């Protein structure tokens, strides 16, 4: 059986601690004879480092995927009518659209727009990403919620359920009195 360096064993233990496995972590006989500092050790260390980085990013990547799934769910609701207090599946008010879309994606968001605003982490407008939330404010606090899509010609583009007699649609905000929130970490 070929010799295995301490570094290779340490990497294997680190991978196991992360819930990852490696089929074989052995060094070549030449690397073992030169004190375990050969190419195989460097490759093993690079593999372990890459696996560690991937493991660290995967929860954030999973959350980002769920945020985009919520955005896509909201986009599929375009054309559905507005109904005060409705949260789907075929009628929505503004917060009901956010509630329905994000619940379907596995987020435990609250039902009302003001509670949703409190549930999110604030994010600067310039840092908004697709699937983040937009909360419109007035003298009485948060009164409307929408899902951010992208910036176009200096304006935000959003999907929302605008109000009585209207349908879920993609639009540009009518005011600059809004702030961003995200469910990403």
Same domain for 174 and 86: yes
- Is residue 72 a part of any domain in this protein? no
Rounded to an integer, the average pLDDT of 17-23 is 47
pLDDT tier, 1 (very low <50, low <70, confident <90, very high otherwise): very low
The pLDDT, as a whole number, for residue 26 is 43
Q: Within a domain: residue 24?
A: yes
Percent of the chain with pLDDT over 90: 66
pLDDT of residue 138: 95
Is the pLDDT at 147 greater than 60, yes or no? yes
Flag whether 86 is in a domain.
yes
Lowest mean pLDDT among 44-48, 110-114, 135-139: 44-48
In this structure, the answer to whether residues 141 and 171 fall within a common structural domain is yes
Q: Which has more confidence, 69 or 14?
A: 69
Which one is predicted more confidently, 169 or 35?
A: 169
The pLDDT, as a whole number, for residue 8 is 61
Residues 43 and 134 reside in one and the same domain: no
- Domain assignment present for residue 67? The answer is no
For 65-103, write each residue's pLDDT tens digit.
Answer: 999 999 999 999 999 999 999 999 999 999 999 999 999
Average pLDDT, the chain: 82
Co-location of 90 and 12 in the same domain: no
Same domain, 159 and 120: yes
User: Is 54 domain-assigned?
Assistant: yes
> Is residue 68 included in any domain, yes or no?
no
- The pLDDT, as a whole number, for residue 11 is 54
d(CA 174, CA 170): 12
Is position 107 within any domain?
Answer: yes
Q: Is the pLDDT of residue 139 over 80?
A: yes
Reply yes or no on whether the pLDDT at 44 is more than 70: no
Per-residue pLDDT tens digits for 106-115: 999 999 999 9
Which among 162, 184, 179 has a CA at the least distance from the CA of 70? 184
Q: Are residues 102 and 144 in the same domain?
A: yes
* Residue that wins the pLDDT comparison between 6 and 18: 6
Tokens 């294997």 -> residue: 12
Closest CA relative to residue 135, chosen from 83, 176, 167, 77: 176
**Residue 92: CATH number of its domain:** 3.90.1720.10
Q: Say whether both 29 and 105 belong to one domain.
A: no
> How many domains is the chain built from?
2
Domain that holds residue 40: 6-59
Same domain, 15 and 89: no
Is 64 inside a domain boundary?
no
Check whether residue 148 and residue 93 sit in a common domain. Answer: yes
d(CA 8, CA 156): 50
CA distances from 80 to 38, 52, 99 (A): 63, 44, 15
Both 51 and 82 in one domain: the answer is no
């Amino acid at each position: 059986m070929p010799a295995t360096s301490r570094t290779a064993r340490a990497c294997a233990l680190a991978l196991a601690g992360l819930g990852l496995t490696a089929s074989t972590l052995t060094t070549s006989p030449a690397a073992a004879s030169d004190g375990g500092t050969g190419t195989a050790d460097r490759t093993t260390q690079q593999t372990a480092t890459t696996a560690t980085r991937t493991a660290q990013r995967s929860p954030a990547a999973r959350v980002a995927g769920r945020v985009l799934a919520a955005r896509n769910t909201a986009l599929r609701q375009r054309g559905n009518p507005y109904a005060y207090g409705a949260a789907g599946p075929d009628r929505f008010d503004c917060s009901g659209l956010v509630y329905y879309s994000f619940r379907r994606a596995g987020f435990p968001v609250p039902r009302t727009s003001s509670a949703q605003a409190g549930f999110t982490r604030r994010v600067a407008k310039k840092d908004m990403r697709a699937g983040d939330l937009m909360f419109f404010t007035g003298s009485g606090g948060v009164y409307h919620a929408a899902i951010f899509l992208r910036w176009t010609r200096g304006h935000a583009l959003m999907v929302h359920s605008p109000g009585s007699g209207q349908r879920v649609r993609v639009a540009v905000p009518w005011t600059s009195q809004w702030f961003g929130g995200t469910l990403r970490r």
